[in-house]
Amino acid sequence: MGVISLICLWQFIQLDTTDIHEYQYPDYVCKHFAKDFQINASHFNLPIRLVHIRNRTIDHMLCAYYISDERRARYGLVDKRWIFIEPQTDEVFFNLPYRNIQFMNIGREII
């Protein structure tokens, strides 16, 4: 799982249609987007994990992809361990855009 898996991740994000679902509280919310994205990624052997974060104003779920030590060294991502994916928008980032996180849990992959 080197460069090919990262390329597959980017391609999968472009192809996946989870983001076209409509947010409908309480029937289809962030946890549903994240779980659907994870299940869809598992069909492509992409080990996506669910991430639950919480602070005083946010209780949110998104997805993450682990970057191995080998890949971090190869691509100069020395201080980056995770690629975070917002399945509602397909936004990808290395640092969570939330402040004062009081709780964070990165779950297991489902492959």
State the pLDDT at residue 40.
97
Q: What is the pLDDT of residues 91-106, one digit of tens each?
A: 999 888 888 888 788 8
What pTM does this model have? 0.87
Report cis status (omega within 30 of 0) of the bond before 26. yes
**Is residue 51 included in any domain, yes or no?**
yes
Q: What is the pLDDT of residues 3-16, one digit of tens each?
A: 567 888 999 999 99
Is a pLDDT exceeding 90 seen at residue 19? yes
Farthest-apart Cα atoms in the chain, separation = 43
Other residues' Cβ atoms within 10 Å of the Cβ of residue 97: 8
Question: Quick one: how far is CA 90 from the chain centroid?
Answer: 9
User: What's the domain range around 32?
Assistant: 3-106
Tally the domains of the chain: 1
The DSSP secondary-structure symbol of 18 reads G
Task: Specify if 58 maps to a domain.
Answer: yes
- CATH number of the domain residue 32 falls in: 3.30.460.70
